[in-house]
Structures are given as structure tokens and as C-alpha cells.
Amino acid sequence: GETILSVDNLDVSFQTNSGLIKAVRGVSFDLKKGETLAIVGESGSGKSVTAKSIMQLLPKQSTRIDSGSIVYGGNDLLEYGNKEIEKIRGKEIAMVFQDPMTSLNPTMKIGKQVMEGLIKHNNIRKKEAKKRSIELLTEVGIPYAEERMNSFPHEFSGGMRQRVVIAMALACDPKVLIADEPTTALDVTIQAQILNLMKELQKKTGTSILIITHDLGVVVNMAQRIAVMYAGEIVETGTLREIFYKPKHPYTWGLLQSMPKMHQDQSVPLIPIAGSPPDVSLMHDGCPFAARCPYVMKVCHNHKPDQTQISVTHAAACWLEDDWAPEIKQPEKIGG
């Protein structure tokens, strides 16, 4: 498919009291027209930082984009000034965050908030904006939308609030929707409803979705492709099938093993990934997963593995993919 958003070799660092931390290192991926790409990783893996870089939402005082490009519509968004990015933000690239209150004004009626977005980006009259707002709220599954236009955010449940945010995101018919842990704060049934809603809306609008999540379960129902992030780097990329049935990176193996299986007896303990997430301030030259990897070799400590292309759509950064590496059998029962 045609690429709509292309992130290339992105490096982002944070200024902290203990010095500069490289939060994102050499991240590259393409988002294709109409697809859903998921970026999966533990918290602190740099996935949110990556997403926020796209829309220049990182705090300017403490963050620095060291290198890379984010190409959208033939231009590098990283070179855009405030005014230019404002024109794209919300209109062409919309964002949905974990906490819907990030995007809602608690003191303003829901209807007015949806209408404002429509008027700002579409140059339409109030009457038309009102009609369209009611339609949008109905489309995202808010019952009695006309009456609920007059409610305030606190009068809605968390799930309903996230529906409103999605309605607002869709109000301008964005080409790209970036959803950062959109269902993490919601309970399981509501999670499934919101994900289904996003999927349905994508079918209608053809919007490309970049979904950021720590939860592989979310990905199963949504994404065609997955990028696995660890310690600021993408360690494996592939189609849903490749990642679930032919994963190549030991970190991906760990993620899959720690994931609850659909019909798994709840009393069976999940296998957690041993060790704790890395302190990115202590990263050295080797593989970022070396300290936790059960298959670590000497080379892993001092030399960063390159991405090895496994298929046209599948790549992994692990020395085990190298020709001279010992044959490792993947752990059993992956992807079951």
C-alpha cells in the first residue's frame, strides 16, 4: 500500500537531573494508507514519546529531537513551526489519549466541544456544525445524542467520554488517527467496544491508525502490522501473523508468553519476562535486551544487532538471526 506517514531514524532525548537520556533511538516505520499499525512495548519503551514526536507534543524545554525525519504529505513535520503543525494537528492527524479528559474541557458542554472542532477546521456554520455533531455522537454510539449535547464531561462514564473524544477526532475526517493507549483506563468490556468502534469507523472512513499499546490483546483485534519496541528501539516488525506465529526476537517471545490466552485457565500463572525494564540512561552499545535475554551471547553485550530482514514484511534486530548464531528453538506454545 501507499505510505501516508513515514518515520525515519528518529532519535529523541530527555534532559533530566542525572543528564541526557536517550528515550528513542533509531526508530523507523511506515504507516500505510488505511492500515492499522500497532506499536507495542512496556511502559518506558519510548512508544508514547515516538507518537508525541509526530505531533510535536513533547515538552520543548526538556526534550530534544536529535535526528530523524517524520514525513507526511511530502514534508518533514519536524521542520514545521507551531502554526504549520497546528493546521495539521486535529485536522489531518488526530490523536486519542489514554485519559479522555486530556482532550476534553471539563467546564464546556460536550456538544459545544464537538462543534468547535468542526467549525475550526471545516469552515461551516453553527447550524450545520450542530447537525453534524449530533450525527457524529450517534455514530460513535452515544444514545440520545441530541440531548447529550448539553451534558458536561463529568456526566459521562469513562467509556462514553472516550467515545466523545473519538467523535471529536473523527470530526475533521483525519487521514491519520494516533491512539495512545486509548482503552487502557477502561474496563475490559468497554475496551472491546471502543476498539470495535475504531475498527468500524476505519472501515467507513479509510483512516490510517497508529495504535500505541502495552497490551498485545488489543493488537489482535485491531492491527494488521505490529512494531515491538524495547528500550527506545524497535526490535521486531511484522504482520500480525508473523509476530504471533513466527516471532523472532526473544523479547517478543517473552511478550507473547506473558499474554493471557483466550481460553486459558485463569489459575495458570502467566510467565513474566524476567528482570526489570532497562534503565535507558545506562544504555550502552550492545543489544538493549541483553540484560534480560535468556539467550544472551558474548557479542550481544558490545555490539548492537542490525535489523535482519526475515520476509518482505518481517524484520528483527537480534544476533540469533545471524548466520553463525547457534540454532535456538523458540519456546513452545507461542501464539497458541
Residues lying near Mg ion in the complex (CB under 5 A): 48
Judged by CB under 6 A, the stretch of 58-66, 115-123, 208-216, 291-299 that binds ligand SF4 is 291-299
Reading the block at residue 231, the C-alpha cell is 528500550
| 48 interface partner picked from ligand SF4, Mg ion, none, CB below 5 to 8 A per type | Mg ion
**Could you tell me if 250 and 291 are in contact, meaning their C-beta atoms sit under 8 angstroms apart?**
no
SS3 28: strand
Applying CB under 6 A, does 289 fall inside the site for ligand SF4?
yes
Site size for ligand SF4, by CB under 6 A? 14
Cell of 103: 482532550
Candidates 24-32, 112-120, 206-214, 313-321 — which segment interacts with ligand SF4 by CB under 6 A? 313-321
Residue 296 contacts which entry, ligand SF4, Mg ion, none (Cβ below 5-8 A, type-dependent): ligand SF4
Which residue's beta carbon is nearest to the bound Mg ion? 48
SS3 track for 49-111: HHHHHHCCCCCCCCEEEEEEEEEECCEEHHHCCHHHHHHHECCCEEEECCCHHHCCCCCCCHH
Instruction: Report the DSSP beta bridge partners of residue 186.
Output: none
Decide which of ligand SF4, Mg ion, none touches 290; Cβ closer than 5 to 8 Å per partner kind.
ligand SF4
**By CB under 6 A, is residue 273 in contact with ligand SF4?**
no
End-to-end CA distance of the chain: 29
Q: How far is the CB of 24 from ligand SF4 (least distance, A)?
A: 18
Q: Which is nearer to Mg ion, 48 or 50 (CB)?
A: 48
- Per CB under 6 A, does 283 bind ligand SF4? no
- Contacts with ligand SF4 in 192-251 (CB under 6 A)? 249-250
Cα dihedral: 194, 200, 203, 208 (round 10):
0
